[in-house]
Structure 1
Amino acid sequence: MTPITEVEGRRLPLSNLDKVLYPATGTTKGEVLHYYATTAGSLLAHLYGRPVSFLRYPDGPGGQRFFTKNPPPGTPAWVRTAEVPRSAHAVARQVLVQDLASLMWAANLVVEFHTPQWQADEPARADRLVLDLDPGAPATVVECCAVALWLRDRLAADGLHAYAKTSGSKGLHLLVPLRPTPSEDVSAYAKGLAVEAEAALPGLVVHKMARALRPGKVFVDHGQNAAAKTTAAPYTLRARAEPTVSTPVTWAEVEECGSPARLVFRLGDIAARLARYGDLMGPLINLNRAGRLPRA
């Protein structure tokens, strides 16, 4: 029998709580739901107002994985959705995770949370820029940190403030709060940064996706600024072998990273980090440091 839990007045069936989702650590679905419940204050702030896409992995990271932007079958009527453009001539609806009940409903489906760089009420007008630093073996997150520091200083020269988080996989994400700006302009600026980074650090950076170019280097992926693209949200769990989390980090941690293990955080690490640092991505929400792109 599926237990029913009441969350903020909503009755939720939470299923298979003893099911092991991460065999490498023995982490159960119940522990995953507990993580999301206790991290909700920070995670919800980054999901609020943004159409959410889900990478679902109901049988754990070793099972079937599928990406969906449409509301899943059986989505409760009380879960908010928004109409968003899918192309020049088509619109569709996507879920908005606005509250704890919606978050726990989604977490029960076993998902990664992904969002675009814009909010539902202003489609394709980005309020942040993202650069995904993806290392090609044998490069690791250590090399990503070196690239991140260069990019931080280059962005600062344009009056922009960058914040870093682990991807929860192999690399780093840099996010920059912006005053709402057309996504196509942000994409063009981000590509220019990636090209500059490759010119400044030719032995370390590539700006093109081609696999043949990437061994031992860091791909500065600027493409996630396109209006149709999404990025893993801060504090989302990832469908990796272990329950790693896309975790905001301090610039001191980036500067001092001499080993990949230094920037691996699992669901059990996050509560203590939030207690120590608060939400290091907070400036992306209150936009008190939102910048303007320089004129072309």
Structure 2
Amino acid sequence: MARASKADHGPDTPVEVDGRRIVLRNLDKVLYPATGTTKGEVLAYYTAVAAPLLAVVRDRPLTRKRWPEGVDGLVFFEKNLPPGTPSWVRHVTLPVPGSTRARETITYPLLDDMAGLVWVANLAALELHVPQWTVGPRGAVHAPDRLVVDLDPGAPAGLPECAEVAHLVRERLAADGLECHPVTSGSKGMQLYAPVSGKQDAEHVHGYARRVAEELERARPKLVTSKMTKALRPGKVLIDWSQNSPTKTTIAPYSLRGRTLPHAAAPRTWDELDDTLVQLDHSEVVERLHADGDLLAVLAEPGPRVPV
């Protein structure tokens, strides 16, 4: 055990997870001051949702958003493996998008197991972001196996308006044989995930998502926008098709958010999507998982090809 100082938030706690030794630090540190939620509680949450969370991030390069001093303190994105990463953490080195002749690279961690998830959470990586494509055992980049539609409301529009647009997107994708599944983001809006074949490159999926967004904008111009321009967004819901770009990442389902309250990206049922829809906190997500199981288990199965 390490000797505690005035700046410490409890002693170091060595634990063994799946045969891996991890030293947990500062478990009593409050990461969400508004609710008093501690780092220990964050670790308990990620342990509770480990199985479905690992299923949606496995084989996907992981970008972390870290709040070492809590959500009221300094925050930074981290893509590369940090110093001191255990040797057993699986990783992949990939070229930086847009770099000349792949001279620049990033080495990302890949989360395979509970030990990796606990290691990441121990670093106060509250938010976990991943792309829609995966990598193979030797680091080969595979085509995306899911399409994501991000619904971002512009005030005074909010989550109820996102729910209305979600039903429009669901109907439109169903016309092409795609089945989507809703996730409230834990922030302002929500995402819809649809499994796709994994046999079309990201540009095909990206282009299809854009066409759908633009079509719905034409059909419902007072409610929907497909354009990122902030001046066009008040009172509307942005259908953000850009999340399907191979260079983009999206908050992972079941991930916490680094907001004032410990909300999490929460899988939802379609019956819930009405004008009473609200974001869920981490404890509610765990309760629902115990009661309903993993609502996103269907994403493990390949879907159809998108129209080109």
With the shorter chain as reference, the TM-score category is over 0.9
Structure-1 separation of matches of 2:142 and 2:58: 16
What is the CA distance between 1:60 and its match in structure 2?
1.5
What is the CA distance between 1:87 and its match in structure 2?
2.8
Q: Indicate the residue corresponding to 1:274 in structure 2.
A: 289
Aligned-pair Cα RMSD in Å: 1.2
Q: Indicate the residue corresponding to 2:133 in structure 1.
A: 118
Q: Indicate the residue corresponding to 2:192 in structure 1.
A: 174
SS class of match (2:15): strand
Gaps of 5+ in 1: none
Q: Indicate the residue corresponding to 2:9 in structure 1.
A: none
Comparing 239-248 and 59-68, the one that deviates more? 59-68
What is the CA distance between 1:271 and its match in structure 2?
2.0
SS class of match (1:126): coil
What is the CA distance between 1:213 and its match in structure 2?
0.3
Q: Indicate the residue corresponding to 1:235 in structure 2.
A: 254
Of residues 132, 152, 159, the one that matches 2:177 is 159
Contact 2:158 2:189 in 1 (8 A): yes
Contact 2:46 2:121 in 1 (8 A): yes
What is the CA distance between 1:278 and its match in structure 2?
1.0
SS class of match (1:263): coil
Residue 258 in 1 paired to residue 275 in 2? yes
CA offsets 1:260-282 (integer angstroms, 9 cap, x no match): xx321111112221122211111
SS class of match (1:187): helix
Structure 2 letter corresponding to 1:36: Y
TM-score scaled by length of structure 2: 0.91
Structure-1 separation of matches of 2:164 and 2:60: 31
CA distance 1:75–1:103, change in 2 (3 Å): same
Q: Indicate the residue corresponding to 2:162 in structure 1.
A: 144
Contact 2:159 2:188 in 1 (8 A): yes
CA offsets 1:231-257 (integer angstroms, 9 cap, x no match): 000100000000000000000011xx2
CA offsets 1:166-186 (integer angstroms, 9 cap, x no match): 111010101110111200111
Of residues 134, 137, 141, the one that matches 2:152 is 134
What is the CA distance between 1:120 and its match in structure 2?
1.2
Contact 1:132 1:173 in 2 (8 A): yes
What is the CA distance between 1:124 and its match in structure 2?
5.8
Q: Indicate the residue corresponding to 1:211 in structure 2.
A: 230
SS class of match (2:264): coil
Gaps of 5+ in 2: 3-11
Structure 1 letter corresponding to 2:123: L
Structure-2 separation of matches of 1:98 and 1:176: 22
Residue 7 in 1 paired to residue 21 in 2? no
Contact 1:85 1:123 in 2 (8 A): no
CA offsets 1:202-254 (integer angstroms, 9 cap, x no match): 10011111110011100111111010100000100000000000000000011
SS class of match (1:193): helix
Matches within 5 A, 1:56-67: 56-67=66-77
Looking at CA atoms only, which structure, 1 or 2, has the larger radius of gyration?
2
Q: Indicate the residue corresponding to 1:74 in structure 2.
A: 84
Identity, % of aligned positions: 48
Structure 2 letter corresponding to 1:265: L
Structure 2 letter corresponding to 1:63: G
